[in-house]
């Protein structure tokens, strides 16, 4: 057995106050993708993915050139592949809206995530807007083409977030009641949301907690609006819109995930003795934790730091794809990766953390659907 060591590098504080930590790790035989790869931790990243998956769509079952069956649009769009990027993508263009019909209601606490390529036009006197909107409608409105498809906010009311190609340092919020619109603009200094988005995939994370809406671009929070969704007309639907003045721009999305959130993780763990989440992400078939998982790990660490007598058991679970024996081993390694992250990144004493894995033996949902598989790929935390 041969072990490869990577050296611990100094910690650098950037102008955006991000802390990049390169961790000394090891790779062992029979561990295809352990925590050996270098990863970055943003000390301010607080996004926590919803733990109960309601819907997933990576367009895998949609033929190239077709429009996905679970979506609607007032214009045109098709599923495509993009050179140099994995998977299938839904192409957005024109002055159209794109409506995921599998979202039929919006819980008080939820997250929406997807990968996006925003190839906006760079031509003079052309512009593009990529918008994400939460809108209010009754059952009749769902079947109203004017409501469902108009770019600019029909319906009883709602709110939205817009990225404008001609304002690359700005995120704009819009809110309306009875078609009366109010715009607000938030400018982030020393940040450019769009300049590096052309031809480069980025991860959008949207987190609702009652009236509060937070939006993240990769591991950077670009919006935190405490009352954006406060309204007499409670939003119950979601849509994405693309505006194009000049028919030169395009946007592409994939890996869409919609999940309900637990409102109080601490209460679940301390009072009920158990917290379960599918919001800790790993690379496929791997125990390597993905960067967008570190918000939830940070909150677990904060709970442990607030009660130094608290000890927890971390249990990994997988879906049923692959060999049962391999899945059992993978679930154990994933639980160990969570333990190592809590110990190394957040200085939690390892003696307070124990681990186990159950593989595919204790499903909480059907493995016949992608949503069910996603809920079965979970990590459980038990108070000891």
187 occurs within a structural domain: yes
- State how far the Cα of 70 lies from the Cα of 47, in Å rounded to an integer: 27
The strand order across the sheet containing 274-277 reads 274-277, 379-383, 312-316, 353-357
**Cβ burial, residue 179 (10 Å; 0-12/13-18/19+):** exposed
Taking each helix axis from N to C end, the angle separating 294-306 and 324-346, rounded to the nearest 10 degrees, works out to 60
Residues 103 and 221 in one domain: yes
The reported pTM is 0.81
- State how far the Cα of 219 lies from the Cα of 202, in Å rounded to an integer: 10
3-state helix, strand, coil in the chain (%, to 5): 15, 35, 45
Nearest to 311 by CA among 348, 272, 263: 348
- Per-residue pLDDT 10s for the chain (384 aa) are 444 434 333 333 333 333 333 333 333 333 444 333 434 555 568 899 998 999 999 999 999 999 999 998 888 899 999 999 999 999 998 888 898 999 988 999 999 999 999 988 877 667 888 999 998 876 544 455 545 444 455 566 788 898 888 777 778 888 877 666 676 666 665 567 777 788 889 999 999 999 999 999 988 888 899 888 887 678 888 999 998 877 778 999 999 999 998 777 777 888 889 999 999 999 989 999 998 888 899 989 999 999 999 999 999 999 999 999 999 999 999 999 999 999 999 999 999 999 999 999 999 999 999 999 999 999 999 999
Which residue has 């077709």 as its token pair?
Answer: 66
Number of domains in the chain: 2
Nearest to 322 by CA among 32, 2, 49, 62: 32
Residues 174 and 289 in one domain: no
Domain holding 366, by residue range, is: 264-383
Q: Among the three residues 217, 245, 260, which one is the final residue of a domain in this structure?
A: 260
Residues 227 and 369 in one domain: no
39 occurs within a structural domain: no
- State how far the Cα of 238 lies from the Cα of 258, in Å rounded to an integer: 10
Residues 272 and 215 in one domain: no
Give strand pairing partners of 111: 207, 259
CATH number at residue 269: 3.30.1330.60
């Amino acid at each position: 057995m041969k072990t490869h060591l990577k050296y611990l590098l100094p910690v650098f504080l950037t102008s955006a106050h991000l802390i990049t930590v390169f961790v000394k790790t090891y790779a062992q035989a029979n561990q295809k993708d352990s925590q050996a790869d270098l990863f970055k931790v943003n000390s301010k990243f607080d996004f926590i993915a919803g733990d109960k998956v309601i819907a997933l769509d990576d367009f895998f079952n949609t033929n190239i050139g077709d429009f996905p069956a679970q979506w609607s649009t007032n214009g045109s769009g098709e599923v495509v592949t993009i050179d140099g990027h994995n998977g299938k993508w839904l192409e957005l263009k024109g002055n159209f809206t794109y409506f995921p019909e599998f979202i039929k209601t919006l819980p008080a606490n939820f997250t929406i995530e997807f990968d996006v390529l925003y190839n906006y036009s760079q031509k003079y006197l052309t512009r593009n807007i990529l918008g994400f909107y939460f809108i209010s409608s009754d059952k009749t409105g769902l079947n109203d083409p004017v409501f469902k498809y108009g770019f600019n906010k029909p319906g009883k009311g709602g709110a939205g977030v817009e990225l404008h190609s001609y304002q690359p340092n700005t995120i704009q919020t819009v809110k309306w009641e009875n078609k009366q619109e109010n715009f607000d603009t938030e400018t982030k200094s020393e940040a450019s949301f769009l300049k590096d988005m052309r031809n480069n995939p980025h991860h959008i994370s949207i987190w609702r907690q009652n009236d509060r809406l937070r939006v993240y671009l990769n591991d950077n929070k670009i919006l935190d609006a405490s009352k954006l969704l406060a309204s007499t007309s409670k939003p119950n639907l979601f849509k994405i819109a693309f505006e194009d003045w000049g028919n030169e721009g395009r946007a592409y999305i994939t890996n869409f995930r919609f999940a309900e959130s637990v409102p109080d993780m601490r209460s679940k763990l301390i009072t009920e003795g158990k917290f379960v989440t599918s919001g800790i992400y790993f690379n496929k078939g791997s125990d390597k934790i993905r960067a967008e998982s570190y918000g939830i790990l940070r909150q677990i660490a904060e709970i442990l730091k607030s009660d130094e007598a608290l000890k927890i058991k971390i249990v990994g679970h997988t879906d049923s794809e692959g060999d049962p024996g391999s899945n059992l081993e993978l679930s154990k390694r994933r639980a160990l990766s969570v333990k190592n992250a809590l110990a190394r990144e957040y200085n939690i004493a390892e003696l307070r953390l124990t681990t186990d894995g159950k593989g595919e033996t204790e499903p909480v949902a059907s493995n016949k659907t992608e949503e069910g598989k996603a809920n079965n790929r979970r990590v459980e935390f038990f108070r000891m």
